[in-house]
Chains A and B, each alone.
Chain A
Amino acid sequence: MGLLSGRKTVYVDSDVLVIGGGMAGCGATYEARYWGRDLNIVCVEKANIERSGAVAQGLYAINCYMGMQWDENQPEDHVRYARNDLMGLVREDLGYDIARHVDSSVHKFEEWGLPIMKDPETGRYMREGKWQIMIHGESYKPIVAEAARKAASKVYNRIMVTHLLMDKTKANRVAGAVGFNVRTGDFYVFRAPAVIVAAGGASHIYKPRAVGEGMGRTWYAPWSSASAYALPILAGAKMTQMENRIVLTRFKDGYGPVGAYFLHLKTYTENAYGNEYESNWYENTKELVGDYIDRHPVPTCLRNHAILEEVKAGRGPIRMVTKEAFQDPHKETIGWENFLGMTIGQAVVWASQNIDPKHTNPELTTSEPYVMGSHATCSGAWASGPEDYAPDEYQWGYNRMMTVDGLFGAGDTIGGTAHKFSSGSFAEGRIAAKAAVNYVKDLGKGRPQVDEAEYQNLKKEVFKPMENYEVGRNEIVAGTVSPSYLLPIHGLQRLEKIMDEYVGGISAHYMTNKPLLTRGLELLGMLKEDLDHLGAEDLHQLQRAWELQHRVLASESVTHHTMFRKETRWPGYYYRGDHMKLDDKDWHCFTLSKYHRETNEWEMEKAPVYHIVD
């Protein structure tokens, strides 16, 4: 059977196309309808929006809430906090914008039915920490998805978007996207003047600590496959801070969260011999980063750094001291429900290993690196800022529009805006959608046109792994080893090994340098060539093939950015062995990249950091 002759092409026209139905995508879909009453609003998701994205299994806290109604925090405070945690470098204009809109988003969640815990004395939301509020969030995602479904003209589940489409009448303008239905195998051409990329960040670009069955228990969801970055990169959008990968200190093996433990349960860490260890590394850290170590709270990366050094000094493992707090039955319940609400796998690990934190202080570990834009890190696309106060250099059009006309982003997609988390990602989706509706209104009838030749070529490219498999499979008796194709898992494991060994993964203690990065890029180049020979046995494997394509492109971006920034800005996330110190003289700036698809070249530049609060 000719693979292409039998494949149906489905055309979907809309005014606003939202790619990805996680927190940011649901926020965008909701808001697009509020402003665009008569518009056709389509949300496309590779899984099922009921349980998709990083919040699929729920959350036990909302980590970004100002509490302006009680004067708990103001948006300026959040900017200072995020800036401090990211060692001085965040897009303060974008961060402020999220902070000022996040409370109204959270209030809607509560109105919609999300159970938010209340302080019995004050009646206010129960605080886990300065920015976090506690929720019973098992159904956080289904609730938010219900709001998005009410708003959308149509939600397309189980469609993996592979590429964006560009306008044939005007350069550097988006015109839609293509993808395939993972169930039917139909090819989809989405035509839309405004596209909001709200896809996921990147797990599984670095080798995870567990490589057997447990490779699925990455900290960030295994389905976060870097589409947030690959889609804009391929369309020529500028990216920023892609070197700013994150390493998480978490409970060992299950990667259960530590936020509630530190902040609410007041547990603390100690080394294997029961001693405090952070002060051992104060002078060492000061040598590297100067007075950033004296800031409060101590930046996340620097706390990682102390753990890494203490373990290297032979005094690991680091443990969380839970035995005291867990004597209080209320705290014990919170400790367990925290996992059951958002990282069930950690409860499974503890049950299996007979770890009851009431009697045993559990081990912590540092994770493999992840690339994302919504946690204590800020990789992503370079976006235009809010119209009312963003500096001229950060403003070239509509809020959250990338450097490609009509292409917007939110959540993991947008760079420079750390600490937005679930609520901030939803709020950013709303910001992007209002801007996208304004863009569509202003565009009037001068709509972009898709190029038939472009999407027909993409159709061939998208299904090529199935053809490769069908042809190559006949050469061999059975099994997974073929001289003519690689399976997606083969390519994924090669990617993870390259990134781990050359670009600062766990087995290199997060260390890299120019020679390593140079070699890493050579190997990534060969992997990229080999991706033409991916083989997909079925549509599920075809999805894996395209997830891998997205991961590889994002990894290449990470490697180029890491090479460009000649300093160690975030020790504890990664180290440039050839530039071990933080260098504010030359590198108090953002790194920007632009990928040229035709020549396969990456263009790097610096962009200034503007501070908008003291």
Chain B
Amino acid sequence: MPTFVYMTRCDGCGHCVDICPSDIMHIDKTYRRAYNIEPNMCWECYSCVKACPQNAIDVRGYADFAPLGHSVRVLREEKKGVISWKVKFRDGREKNFESPIRTTPWGSIKSPSDYDAPSEEAFKSQELAHEPGALNIEKLPALTPDKLKQGVV
């Protein structure tokens, strides 16, 4: 359907509502559980599927071109830094894949204000934060205006 939600698994926690980039996961007022209110604005990005603590959300491919009987399931283990996929074909064949998602602990990125404050001269230079050091070359490349020309090249 893009995404849909299993009635018996969803506990209405709203993680999917918080994360959906398309604002289409909403809580049904009667059942107090989430559902996809606008399947034709779903990108099948799986953001809600990955965020669901109950594994209650799944995807059924777009009805206009995806025959039934397939599934693409995901398990995103944030602390382990790994994502695993199980792809099941309509005819039953299966493929499994696993990839790393992050090499550092979550929350470990330093704020830019934790670095030494830039000098007054740095404000006037073309260098951005952490340059030229973070470029891993000696200095920021530059051009001079005398190279300008018009016409077809």
Contacts and interface: CB of A to CB of B under 8 A. Distances in A.
Interface in B2-34: 2, 18-24, 26
Contacts of B117: 37
Contacts of A218: 43
Contact of B64 (A75, A182, A210, A614): A210
Interface string B70-81: 111010100000
A107 interface: yes
B112 A349 contact: no
A216 B47 contact: no
A569 B136 CA distance: 39
Contacts of B65: 210, 214, 253, 349, 353
Nearest to A218: B43
Nearest to B47: A51
B107 A146 contact: yes
A211 B109 CA distance: 42
Given A34-B118, A352-B70, A391-B148, A611 B153 contact: yes
A441 B108 contact: no
Max chain B Cβ within 10 angstroms of own Cβ: one of A68, A352, A613: A352
Contacts of B76: 138
Given A34-B129, A138-B99, A348-B72, A540 B23 contact: yes
A51 B19 contact: yes
A215 B74 CA distance: 23
B54 to A, nearest CB: 18
Contact of B143 (A34, A344, A612): A612
A115 B103 contact: yes
B97 A336 contact: yes
Interface in B58-109: 59, 61-72, 74, 76, 83, 85, 87-91, 93, 95, 97, 99-109
Contacts of B67: 352-353
B62 A213 contact: yes
Contact of B141 (A68, A83, A348, A427): A68
A34 B91 CA distance: 54
B2 to A, nearest CB: 6
A574 B130 CA distance: 42
A52 B18 CA distance: 11
A158 B25 CA distance: 13
B132 to A, nearest CB: 8
Contact of A182 (B23, B69, B150): B23
B129 A430 contact: yes
Interface in A565-609: 584, 588, 608-609
A375 interface: no
A96 B102 CA distance: 30
A285 interface: no
A113 interface: yes
Interface size class of B (residues with CB under 8 A): 35 or more
Interface string A367-394: 0000000000000000000111111000
A52 B37 CA distance: 19
B137 to A, nearest CB: 5
A37 B119 CA distance: 12
Nearest to B153: A611
A455 interface: no
Contacts of A34: 112-113, 115, 118, 128-130
B99 A337 contact: yes
Interface stretch (A97-105, A165-173, A315-323, A463-471): A97-105
A90 B150 CA distance: 12
A100 B143 CA distance: 10
Interface in B110-125: 110-113, 115, 117-118, 123
Contact of A431 (B43, B68, B128, B137): B128
A438 B122 CA distance: 11
A345 interface: yes
Nearest to A387: B126
Contacts of A213: 1-2, 39-40, 42, 62-64
16 contacts: A35-B118, A48-B20, A57-B47, A68-B141, A108-B134, A113-B108, A139-B101, A213-B40, A218-B43, A222-B22, A253-B65, A340-B72, A353-B65, A588-B152, A609-B150, A611-B153
Given A115-B101, A218-B43, A610-B150, 7 more contacts: A33-B111, A100-B140, A100-B142, A113-B103, A138-B99, A214-B66, A388-B126
Question: Which 8 A-B residue pairs are closest in the complex by CB-CB distance?
Answer: A113-B104, A214-B62, A57-B45, A69-B136, A34-B112, A34-B129, A345-B44, A104-B134
